Chains A and B, each alone.
Chain A
Amino acid sequence: MIGLIGKKAGMTQVFDEEGTLTPVTVIEVEPNVVVASRTLEKDGYNAVVLGSVEMKSSNVTKPYAGQFKNDVTPKKHVIEIRDFEKECNVGDSFGVELIENLVYVDVVGTSKGKGFQGVMKRHNFSGGRATHGSKFHRVGGSTGMAAYPSKVIKGTKMAGRMGGEKKTVQNLEVVRVDAEKKIVLVKGAIPGTKNSIVLVRTAKKK
């Protein structure tokens, strides 16, 4: 598995080799620095900790700065990637070149917050009939069942806060990697708002 921390810049369209318009998401990638490495002997698993985006020194607390060793300056975003398939030492820096050879990627991000939503939007309930005397429109219906169990089982799907959670979109095609502009173009949409931080990594199921 290899991956990089990036920033969602927004969506646009590009023409592919056949001249078809393809919808793409532009992901900006600032240099990713290896902050630390986890090893089987010491930590029980292999992983690499990547950091990206420089921080203003006045914003860095001492406990936060403690994780950055070997002259690595404090980074705003830190992500740990297990079983990193590239030899690297603490202090090494990666750009978009790292994922140049990938055909498909997964993108992990935080989805847009949608506030308090009903069951139809939040859990894809089908709702009731709109007309013909129906009095059952967008509500969830019965939750507690009958005499037994006569209570609402934990985890029952109901209305509530939606969005703003970690989401992964799998198997997105890499349309273009531009090392000069430090950007990756992936086909289709990815979670989150513009300027939100995402992880672009090897597709797990390809």
Chain B
Amino acid sequence: MRVKVGELILALGFLGLMLTLYLAFLWAPSVNINAFESPEAQRIFYWHVPAAWAAFIAFAVLFVGSALWFFKRSPLGWKLHIAGSEAGLACGLMAVWSGCVWGAAEWGTPWDWEDWRLNSFGLLTLLALFLVLGRQSQPDGVESRDTFSTFGLYGFVLVPLTYVATRIWVIRHPGPVIGGDEDSSISGDMALVLLIGALSFTTLIIGHILTSIEITKFEQRMDRLQKKLDGE
């Protein structure tokens, strides 16, 4: 069977993630042991930040797809909506899970219900979960697509809110390491591993979106065949 572009990109992204793991564990420099309760757990940052970055890309795709379907009735828009919600859920869960692992080691608790960044990102991931499960449980139709697209459109409000949360309401989640204030900086080696991680997650998510679009096309072909068989 021929290998498709989406599958190739997915495989490339996955290999990149394996490389990121290797570099994060065995090559990236250790942090100052006095600065953290659990200095080794800090290495999860090379996974957590790229996963959150990829989730934001997926939520942007979800927003664009929802808008295209809702305002233009674009079939491609609906495919992007599905791909964005699935990829957003996967990357969102990765970011939440890795954050909980770090929080448990560093703070002594996996979650802080008073922290804006944690809760707004958690809500975004729950929104993606709702869209994925909702689509699977509802019959496909104009009304259900409109409803899910509306959630995709309004849910995107949480993206900029989550992005600025650590700049405005610094509670427990660490502030930005890149693009923050003058104190926010990381060493060259750390930045390189972070960049490889971000590129790998981005590649993976592009591969996922392409494959997901392909699957939606197949589902629609299947639906057409079913209707033909039913004599409609």
Pairing of A with B: no
Chain A interface residues (CB < 8 Å from chain B): none
Chain B interface residues (CB < 8 Å from chain A): none
